[in-house]
Amino acid sequence: MSYKAPVEQIDFILTHIVPFGELSRTERFAEATAETATAILSEAGKMASNVLAPLNMAGDSHPARLENGVLRSSPGFAEGFRAIADGGWVGVSADPEHGGMGLPQALNMAVAEMMSGACLALQLNPLLTQGQIEALEHHASDELKALYLPRLISGEWSGTMNLTEPGAGSDVGALTTRAEPAGDGTYRISGQKIYITWGDSDVTANVCHLVLARLPGAPRGTRGISLFMVPKLIPDDQGNPGVANSLKVVSLEEKLGIHGSPTCVMSYEDATGWLVGEENRGMAAMFTMMNVARLGVGMQGVGVAEAALQKAVAYARDRDQGGAIIRHPDVRRMLATGRAEVFAARAIGLACATAIDMARATGDAEQAARAALLTPIAKAYGTDVGIRVADMGVQVHGGMGYVEETGAAQYLRDVRITSIYEGTNGIQAMDLVGRKLSDGGEAAMRLLDEVLDGAKAAQAAHPDLAHQVWQAAETLREATLSLLERDMPQRFAGAVAYLSAFARVLGGHYHLRAALAGGEPHRAMARVFMARVLPRFAGDLAEAQAGLDDLAAISDEALAGDFAA
């Protein structure tokens, strides 16, 4: 069975689970009607299923390669990217002033999920370009916008994000890349960057790098970092790609998965760049790009989980061992819990995107706070579910899952990176318990109030399900208040578990809504989630409240297996 984009499932969530319908009542998104959403999802689904999905295994078995300094993409990727670009899918949420559709991020993220499920390695190209578009729209000068945005939005050019350096991974403030003023309004950029996704490309006419670098005399740490646009080919007076810039791809990383996506080591040697935003304010501009990318990565996890689950179900239906194995209790358990978690992760991601859209359309500070709170949850839970479900898909296939020809293993290898890049899931969890609770937990409490109100409203129709959600939300509220009384090291020690608990409670909330709005299949799936997934939140909270003391008491030698001391 080949991948089939889950158009109906996404449409159901946008229609019944998250407040997407409210967006069309705002001036900014007046055109984002239910009919428009359905049409967009349908067309994007066809492109993902029919054009991108057939490229997935080719990208895995025939990786991108570097030949004499020239990047060669996987077979069919150029045609696949052209289908993305020609369909306008790069610019779904981009400003219409520069050629974008101007549609909500909720639709953009739905499209991103479908493209990720079809071919994650190729989808990474437009994901990074969309993040760059977002950063330029908010921070670039009018001249840079006019030059770069139309070409990025059309897919004529592509964009990258250059943060990481050797020896300076998540500690971005330790970077050493330099930017020297050239005296003509440009800068000379020198340094090396690693892990640059789609750092070079033969599917677009130019590659535009957003590079973090430090100006002379800049403050130490992240406060002294600026952001620069450094194109592969310097545009001429007409905006066409001109002479080659002083940058190159040193090598391509050999990776566990996403082989079709070239992950580059980049070298800049007095390369010409242009300042984006203000001096020493590069991190603020880069975070605009990263926040979009983080939600997008969460939806990548959902997309791969959906694809892996479809493959596992198809195999379970066909595999006969005393009858089709889809009837075996343990196989059914894996498939049912996988499906329940995919629904929950998809709903959380689309709820986050809708909150982003409402904040932008209305200026509502509470919606902005909700979007900020949900972003690390959507990223971490979406990718954790992606890994769990892809791993489960291998298990359902049994020995054949460990054989590459089935394709089950590729999903697990591909999705494994998603919990690492764009901020590891541990960093997302620390962001949640740190920065996102810095308002005294107000945004979290407002969201939990909504969960509690939803449970009360569902009491008459589904008393058992509603009680489980209510009890879980109330317990999470108490745990959050307790967490707020702790210092940061104590919070950080339990942050991953706390985020997991929050995600499971939200998943219960959205499944309860689905049970009210949908038919028996949704009610059956809600019962599975409440019985087999939601109860795990209690164990998560127990770990979250354990704090740091037991971890601090273990010596480094003991961690290494030396118990002689």
Contact residues for 426 (Cβ-Cβ < 8 A; gap 6+) = 495, 496
Euclidean distance between CA atoms 457 and 165, whole angstroms: 51
Euclidean distance between CA atoms 499 and 540, whole angstroms: 8
For residue 130, the SS3 value is helix
Query: Which letter does DSSP use for residue 42 in this model?
Result: H
Residue 226 · residue 279 · CB < 8 Å: yes
Radius of gyration of the chain (CA): 23
Q: Smallest Cα–Cα separation from 179: which of 219, 217, 215, 231?
A: 215
Euclidean distance between CA atoms 3 and 5, whole angstroms: 6
Euclidean distance between CA atoms 226 and 172, whole angstroms: 12
Residue 343 · residue 511 · CB < 8 Å: yes
Euclidean distance between CA atoms 178 and 188, whole angstroms: 8
Which runs of consecutive H residues, i.e. helices, occur in 407-548? 408-415, 425-433, 442-457, 463-484, 488-493, 495-517, 520-532, 536-544
For residue 145, the SS3 value is helix
Q: Catalytic residue among 27, 306, 422, 442, which?
A: 422
How many residues are recorded in the chain?
565
The strand pairing partners of 161, in sequence order, are: 210
Q: Active site includes 143?
A: no
Alpha carbon 25 to its chain's center: 27
For the annotated catalytic residues, the residue numbers are 422
